[in-house]
Amino acid sequence: MHGLMQDRPLTLPHVFHRAERIFGHKSILTATVDGESRVTYAQWAERVRRLATVLDTLGVSAEARVGSFAWNTQRHLELYFAVPCTGRVLHTLNIRLFAEQLQYIVEHAGDEIVFVERSLLPLIWPLADRLPGVRHWVVIDDGADTEIPDDPRVLDYEQLLAVAEPFDGRFTVEDEDTAAALCYTSGTTGNPKGVLYSHRSTVLHSLISLTADTLGLGERDRLLPVVPMFHVNAWGLPYAAVLCGADLVFPGPAMRPGALLGLIQRHRVTVTAGVPTIWLGAVPLLGDYDLSSLRMVLGGGSAVPKSLSEAWRTGAGLPITQAWGMTETSPLATVASPRSHHDGLGAAALAGVRASQGQAVPLVDLRIVDPESGAELPWDGTAFGELQASGPWIAAAYFGGGSDANSFTGDGWLRTGDVATIDAKGFVRLVDRTKDLVKSGGEWISSVELENEIMAHPDVVEAAVIAKPDERWSERPAACVVLAEGARLGTEDIVAHLTGRVAKWWLPDEVHFIDEVPKTSTGKFSKKALRERFYPSGVLPGA
């Protein structure tokens, strides 16, 4: 028997129209090169309507992919809604990609038009002649003094908006499974792969960010998304904020820790989100700002070291809340806030809970699987295997790439490429990326855990553990360590610090002291670069 409820599509037009009607007074602020600009939701909504007309006037086709190459700003948020609310697909381009990768993804996505920030023109305009499919390059003038090319393909965002009539009426997208946005994975191996979000997945994902045990985002919040809007749609937070009418504070191009902490202080930001590298850079400055308005600092994209979260707890009064996810999971899949069964735990044990990846959010199913036998493993907190995920905002296939057996199982689950344990209460602990595990004498060593322990040393800023090829053991751990300014430590100090904290056979064979851990375009440790630097001839599993 069927239920007798109305069948209404879950689409972004609903989110837009709701915000326009009831949150018109709420505010969207953007840091600019020479200050700050602020609009109300009502003003923003009117601009979204104008932008919708611009897309039609320029002849952008009905299901076009529309590229954005932009900072986190109010104007980027205009694209976030005008593009999908008119049935088109917003393709947020990662501004840190190399030229060849950029060219590849613009071509692969079939972008017809690209909106590019003036300051970012030098990174992408040189590709224009190699991208004949892109008919228009619309420059968003962010106040930089970069020269604007004199070329008929180049248009000005504000001029287009100024002459456009606002679209009149309600946006409609009939089918909730219509594509809304496209993000390519950072692709540490092989070509980047496109993840194509639908209206339905985006709305459901936004809704989950509003629930109390996840992020609990609400109308009273003032959200500062530091994670780039090209990285999994800033973790879906801009959509979630508009759904609940939260005030938004966008950092624009100013991503230095001091600028971000200044925004938090000045605008009494309540929730912010970014990768651990950003929060690490802010640690030395925490005492210089009033951060008392914050109720949540979200960290994810790579493991949040216990020492980092604790540094925030002591320096800013609140620890970092860790979340785990991937481009393929929209990304919110787990959140590590302590639950009632953790009540009564001491500070150290709670810090341990926060250093895990946490519990799956509602509607996401997880399992761990033995990669060899394919058998599902028990949730006992010790058995570890490949983490697989399933749910309404988890990719079923890649754009233009079909359903690839390395990425999806026969029964339609996503193979995350992460290795994890899950405890009896569903708390996930990531052990490693499949390809980063160190296999020594047939036994696995978790590089993530070893890094966490090394980073607990007060003189260590960052540590990345990689596998060093070894004749006897096949692989042994090697640590690449960045020391705090002025600190002097040798290999023996690191080993002495680790002794008693980890099993003896986990102690690294070599310690390389480096100036900086190389990072990928989304701010993760690039272990590939470290392996190439220190063990270029090493044949490593999955490398």
Active site residue 453: no
Contact status: 523 vs ligand AMP (CB under 6 A): no
Q: Which of 32, 40, 46, 444 is catalytic?
A: 444
Residue 287 vs 371, nearer CB to ligand AMP? 371
Name the nearest CA neighbour of 468 among 436, 432, 433, 515.
Answer: 436
Instruction: Please count the CA atoms within 13 angstroms of the CA of 286 that sit on its side-chain side.
Output: 22
d(CA 22, CA 20): 6
186 scored as a contact of ligand AMP (CB under 6 A): yes
Rounded-to-integer distance, Cα 488 and Cα 457, Å: 12
Q: Which residue, 171 or 398, is less far from ligand AMP as judged by CB?
A: 398
Q: Which stretch binds ligand AMP (CB under 6 A): 40-48, 298-306, 337-345, 393-401?
A: 298-306
By beta carbon distance, the residue nearest ligand AMP is 327
Which residues inside 32-61 make contact with ligand AMP, applying CB under 6 A? none
Tell me the C-alpha distance between 543 and 524, whole Å.
16
Which residue, 71 or 525, is less far from ligand AMP as judged by CB?
525
439 belongs to the catalytic site: yes
Q: Which entry of 185, 188, 202, 520 is annotated as an active-site residue?
A: 185
357 touches ligand AMP by CB under 6 A: yes
Quick one: 60 or 273, whose CB is closer to ligand AMP?
A: 273
Nearer to ligand AMP among residue 119 and residue 416 (C-beta): 416
Nearest distance, CB of residue 525 and ligand AMP, angstroms? 10
DSSP structure string for 461-511 = EEEEEEEEEETTTEEEEEEEEEEPTT----HHHHHHHHBTTB-GGGS-SEE
Question: Applying CB under 6 A, does 185 fall inside the site for ligand AMP?
Answer: yes
Phi then psi dihedrals of residue 417, to 5 deg: 80, 5
Rg (CA), the chain: 23
* Stretch 309-348: interaction string toward ligand AMP, x if CB under 6 A: -------------xxxxxx---x-----------------
| Cβ closest to ligand AMP, residue 245 vs residue 299 | 299
Q: Are 162 and 46 in contact (CB under 8 A)?
A: no
**Angle formed by the axes of helices 199-209 and 12-22, to 10°?**
50
Stretch of 8-16, 84-92, 246-254, 297-305 contacting ligand AMP, by CB under 6 A: 297-305
Interaction mask 117-146, ligand AMP, x per CB under 6 A = ------------------------------
Restricted to residues 407-426, the positions that interact with ligand AMP (CB under 6 A) are 416-418
Cβ contact 398:271 at 8 Å: no
Q: Using the rule CB under 6 A, which residue among 102, 114, 430, 502 binds ligand AMP? A: 430
Taking the C-alpha atoms of residue 52 and residue 166, their distance in angstroms, rounded to an integer, is 8
Find the helix packing angle between 12-22 and 237-244, rounded to 10°. 50
Considering the rule CB under 6 A, would residue 521 count as an interface residue with ligand AMP?
A: no
Among 384, 372, 477, smallest CA distance to 428 is for 384
Those residues whose C-beta lies under 8 Å from the C-beta of residue 426, and which sit 6 or more positions away, are: 359, 360, 366, 379
Residues in the chain: 543
- Residues annotated as catalytic are 185, 328, 439, 444
Residues binding ligand AMP (CB under 6 A): 185-186, 232, 300-304, 322-327, 331, 357, 416-418, 430, 433, 522
